[in-house]
Structure 1
Amino acid sequence: MPRILVIQPDASDPVGPLGDWLTAAGAELDIRQPPGDELPAGLDDYQALVCLGGGMNAEDDSAHPWLKPVRDLLATATHNGLPTLAICLGAQLLAVATGGRVVQGDKGPEVGAYLVSKKDAAWTDPLFAELPLMPDVLHFHEDEISRLPANAVLLASAPKYVNQAFRLGRCAYGLQFHIETTPEVVQSWAEDEPDMAATAKPGTFETSTLSRLHEDLADTWQPFAARFVQLAGGALKTAAPTPRNTLPLA
C-alpha cells in the first residue's frame, strides 16, 4: 500500500474525488494543510507526493511563509525520483521550485471547462499515454507557468496558455488544471472570486453543467489516478530518462 503525502495549501481546495480515486487504487493518504498542520522534514516515509491548488501566488512567501518548505519538498521529490502529482497552484510551485517561472497571465483568467491537447511526448508517458487526445479539464486560475524548468517535458497544451501539463525527470508531474474538484467546490470558488468567475462562459457554474463536467472528469482522470498509485507502488514503470536539453521537450 503506497503511502502518499498530500499537501493541501488552501482550505477551499480539498483532495475531493482525487483522494477517493487514490485510496480506491490502494493508496494510504497523509493529508497536511499548512500552516495548521506541520509539514514533514523529509519524504523518506512516503512513496509519492501530491500537492493541490490554492488561491495564493506561488511565490507569495511574505503572506504565506510555509510556501517555501512546500517548494523545497517538491524540489526534493523531483531530485529523488519520487512520484509527484502537482495540481494548479501545486504545478506552479513545482515549476518555481525547479527553475521555471510563474507570472500573472497576460491573456486574463482561464476559468471553466476546457479541453487540453496531448503533445507527442504524452503518447509514450506512463500516466498520459492512455488519456484521450483532448481530455476534459477544469480551470480556475489567473497565473500562468510562463517558462517551464529546463529539461521539462511538455505533455499537454492549450491555445490560451501553453504549459498545461509537464513532467520533470521520470515521474514528477505538474497539471495547470484541476481534476480533484466537485460542483460544490467550483461554485464556492465562483462566489469567492466573482471577477474571475465573470470571465467564464455563461452557464459555467450551473449545477447541471458542472455535474456533467465532473462525470466526464471522473471517466478520464480516475484511471489516471489509479496509474499514479501503480507508479508509486512500483507496479508501473516510470518514464524513460529525459535527454539533457535547454528547452522544454514537446
Structure 2
Amino acid sequence: MSQVPNVLVVQHGENGGPGRFGEWLAEAGVAVQVVTAFDGSAVPGRLAHDGLIVLGGGYMPDDDEKAPWLPATRSLVEQALRGSVPMFGVCLGGQMLAAVAGGKVQADAGAPEHGSTAVTIRPEAADDPLFHGLPDVVPAIEHHVDAITGLPPGAVWLAETARCPYQAFRVGPRAWGVQFHPEVTPRRIRQWNGEELRDQGFDREELYAAAVADEPASAAAWHAVARRFASIVRDRHRGTARPRASAVAPRGEDHG
C-alpha cells in the first residue's frame, strides 16, 4: 500500500495529460501516476490505486483496433465500479464510464462543441459530493463531436448543455463522468487543428479569447471539484470513506 493517497491516470494522447487537475490533486496531497497508453506504456491489469482518472482522446470507448489499450482501460473502470474506488472520467473517459455501466455513446452525435461553453448545473447536483454548491452555470472547455446519448441505469444526471445534454453524471457512490475538460486551460485551444475547427464553423482565436475571459470562473469551480475528489481519494486511502449513493455495477459495453 502506498504511503500517500495515489491516483492512476490513463492518458490517451500526447497533448492530453492531467493538466491543472493533476496539479490540484497534488496540492491536496494526492500522488498522481500517469500511464501514457498511446506510446505503448502498459496499462495495469489490476487497479491497486486509491483512485482512477481516465482522460480524453480521439476514440470511441470501444475503438480497440485504433487504440489497443482500451480493453485494459475498460477493465480498470469496471474494477473501480465494483470496488467503489473513486473515479473521474473526462470526455472519452466519461463516455467509457457511461458505456461500461450500461449507457449509450454515439459517434458524431448532434452538434459539435468546442471552446468555453456554459454548462448548466442541474438540481440533482445539490447533494452530490463533487458538484454541490457550484454556480448555476459554469464555463468549461469542450472539444468533442462524439457524445453520451443515454445515461446508465441509476446514474445521477448532474450537468447539461443545449447541444449535449449529458455533460456530467455520477454512477454509484464514487464514479463521475464529464463530457467537458476541467483539466485544461485556454492555452490548449491553440493546439487544436484550426482547419478542422473552421470546417465546423469555429474560429480558433475567437474560442481562445472567450476561454481566457471565462477562465477565472472556470478555474474556481473545477478547482473546487478537484479538491473534493482529492478528499474522497484520501478517505479511501485511510479506509474511512462511506458510500453516499447506491452502487451500480457495470452493465456491459453494448453502445448501440
Q: Paired residue for 2:43?
A: 39
What residue is the counterpart of 1:239 in the other structure? 244
Q: Distance in 1 between matches of 2:242 and 2:213?
A: 33
Aligned equivalent of 2:254: none
Contact 2:112 2:163 in 1 (8 A): no
Q: Which amino acid aligns with 2:62?
A: E
Structure 1, unmatched stretches of 5+, are 245-250
Matches within 5 A, 1:8-87: 8-35=11-38, 36-44=40-48, 46-87=49-90
CA displacement at 1:90 relative to structure 2: 0.7
Q: Distance in 1 between matches of 2:223 and 2:63?
A: 32
TM-score by length of 1: 0.89
- Give the alignment partner of residue 117 of structure 2, picking from 114, 120, 126: 114
> In 1, are the aligned partners of 2:189 and 2:204 still within 8 Å (CA)?
no
Three-state SS of the structure 1 residue aligned to 2:65 is coil
Matches within 5 A, 1:157-176: 157-176=160-179
In the superposition, the TM-score normalised over structure 2's length comes to 0.87
Deviation of 1:183 (Å)? 2.3
Checking the alignment, whether the CA contact within 8 Å between 1:87 and 1:177 is kept in structure 2 is yes
Deviation at 1:108, TM superposition (A): 2.1
Counterpart of 1:229? 230
Structure 2: gaps (5+ residues): 250-256
CA distance 1:173–1:196, change in 2 (3 Å)? farther
Could you give the per-residue CA deviations for residues 1-50 of structure 1, whole angstroms, max 9, x where no partner exists?
Answer: 31000111111211111111010011001100114211111112x11001
Out of 7, 22, 35, the position equivalent to 1:4 is 7
Q: 1:202 to 1:10 in 2, by over 3 A?
A: closer
Deviation at residue 213 of structure 1 after TM alignment: 2.7
Flag the 1:214–1:173 CA change in 2: closer, same or farther, 3 A. same
Q: How far apart, in 2, do the equivalents of 1:192 and 1:86 lie? A: 28
Report if aligned partners of 1:231, 1:238 keep a CA contact under 8 Å in 2. Answer: no
Separation (CA, whole Å) in 2 of partners of 1:205 and 1:136: 13
Matched, 1:177 2:147: no
Q: Is the 8 A contact 2:95 2:105 kept in 1?
A: yes
CA apart distance, 1:121: 1.6
Superposed displacement of residue 201, structure 1: 8.6
Structure-2 separation of matches of 1:124 and 1:81? 18
1:135 aligned counterpart, secondary structure:
strand
Taking only aligned residues, the RMSD between alpha carbons, in angstroms, comes to 2.3
Which structure 2 residues correspond to residues 117-136 of structure 1 after superposition, within 5 A? 117-136=120-139
Divergent runs of 4+, >6 A = none
Report the 3-state secondary structure (helix = DSSP H, G, I; strand = E; otherwise coil) of the residue aligned with 2:228: helix
Change (3 A) 1:101 1:223: same
How far 1:118 sits from its partner (Å)? 1.7
Aligned length in residues: 242
Aligned letter for 1:129? H
Give the CA deviation at 1:68.
1.4
**8 A contact 2:167–2:178 mirrored in 1:** yes
